[in-house]
Amino acid sequence: MSALYAFAKASLLGAAPAINLLTDTIRAALVTASYTPNTAAGGDQYWSVASANVVGTPQQITSPTVTGGVFNGAGVTYTAVPSGPAATQILIYKDTGTPSTSPLVALITGWGSVTPNGGNIAITWDTGANKIFAL
């Protein structure tokens, strides 16, 4: 299951804070099950609500594209992720440099989980119609 955050939907349609998937720094973060997302209207809006549950270092999605309402980009690799709790979710957000102003965009769940062991974790996005996410 994946979901777009309600605030992100409004931002993508022109509300502040603006999100431009092609020109903004968009990151993918692995997060633990300790983060309980609220993607509904009035729910979670900024990275600061989830940043305490991060696994590894969030990675920038490079080579972003938007075609026919579908967002895609290059896969990401988290290097030398220290041993710790399992990552069960991928959170996509716009990085402004400040967690309290970095808008959440999408949450990807249902892909399983990965328990870090000091090695790299590589994420390859869906090659089907939805890629990273579709509007």
Burial 62-76 (b: 16+ CB within 10 A, else e): eebeeeeebbbbeeb
CA–chain centroid gap for 42, Å, is 19
Q: What is the pLDDT along the chain (135 residues), one digit of tens a residue?
A: 589 999 999 999 999 999 999 999 999 999 999 999 999 999 999 999 999 999 999 999 999 999 999 999 999 999 999 999 999 999 999 999 999 999 999 999 988 899 999 999 999 999 999 999 998
Please tell me the pTM assigned to this model. Answer: 0.96
